[in-house]
Amino acid sequence: MIILEIKNLIKKFEGIYAVNNLSLQFRKGQIIGIIGPNGSGKTTLINLLTGILEIDSGEVIINEGITISKIQPYQVSFFGLTRTFQNVRLFEQMSVLDNILVVLTERNIFASLFERHSEYHYKIAKDILQKVNLWEKRNQLALNLSYGQRKLLEIARALAMKAEIYFFDEPFAGLFAAMREVVFEIIQELKQNGKTIVLVEHDIGLIRNLCDYVFVMDEGKLLAEGKPEEVLEKREVIEAYLGE
């Protein structure tokens, strides 16, 4: 089943194409890698699909039925989408626990704080934070976490969204081995639960070990697609991405 499709997607900055007439299909329940050299349009694509940037032209089709030409940030969760960022975005002056509860209560930030002791929400938040090894840090301000812990907290917030499609933008970057293993297991578990994961990643080893399918972008266009073991051996991919 095609859970997400983009047709002829275009985004330009000052006349320069960041995404150039791009068409892709994402199958439900797969881990899909998006790779390419710096500046190839990977993060721009994710930003377009999650409402951070406005689409210049083209269509996005969700669940083989909902066609949209513009996605607003507030609509992302409605469409079953969630994401993480290269540069972690958290509520810095809130505790680790409240960063999760804000998402779980599905209300505005201030109203959600009044529900932070709800037994139902508290249990879910605890389970999620234990999954990313941050339960012991629950009362600390997000601002005071280490870089790796902050990334794990952002991933935990994405898990709290209970989405169908998870966009992870370089979730392994800068993490120690133990933290990388946690993220690896989370992504695999999401797949086992039937979720779709779109992974922007530079680590080719992770792409080989995790992904079912890979799209290679270069200068905003699709350079190649297919199974990792096939795509990563193509000369044009090696030349563009590996610089050989």
pLDDT digits (tens, 9 = 90+) for 159-198: 998 899 999 999 999 899 999 999 999 999 999 999 999 9
Lowest average pLDDT, out of 63-72, 115-124, 205-214, goes to 115-124
The total of structural domains in the chain comes to: 2
* Residue 34: strand pairing partners: 200, 215
Q: What is the pTM of this model?
A: 0.90
CATH of the domain at 29: 3.40.50.300
Question: 119, 147, 162: which is the final residue of a domain?
Answer: 162
pLDDT at 119: 82
* Residue 57: strand pairing partners: 10
pLDDT at 240: 78
Task: Give me the mean pLDDT over the 226-244 stretch.
Answer: 84
CA distance 125 to 223: 41
pLDDT at 116: 47
Give which of 80, 87, 128, 84 is closest to 104, Cα–Cα: 128
SS3 56: coil
Residues 27, 131, single domain; the answer is no
Residue 85 placed within a domain? no
Structure tokens at 213: 């399918």
CA distance 148 to 142: 12
Could you tell me if 172 and 187 are in contact, meaning their C-beta atoms sit under 8 angstroms apart? no
- Percentage of residues of the chain with pLDDT beyond 70: 93
Which is higher by pLDDT, 112 or 121? 121
**Following CA atoms 229, 178, 84, 36 in sequence, which dihedral angle do they give, to the nearest 10 degrees?**
-30
Most confidently modeled range among 34-38, 117-121, 194-198: 194-198
Structure tokens at 34: 């998006």
What domain range is 148 assigned to?
A: 90-162
Residues 167, 244, single domain; the answer is yes
pLDDT digits (tens, 9 = 90+) for 190-225: 999 999 999 999 899 999 999 999 999 999 999 999
Residue 114 placed within a domain? yes
Phi first, then psi: what are they for 179, rounded to 5°?
Answer: -70, -35
Q: How confident is the model at residue 118 (pLDDT cuts 50, 70, 90)?
A: confident
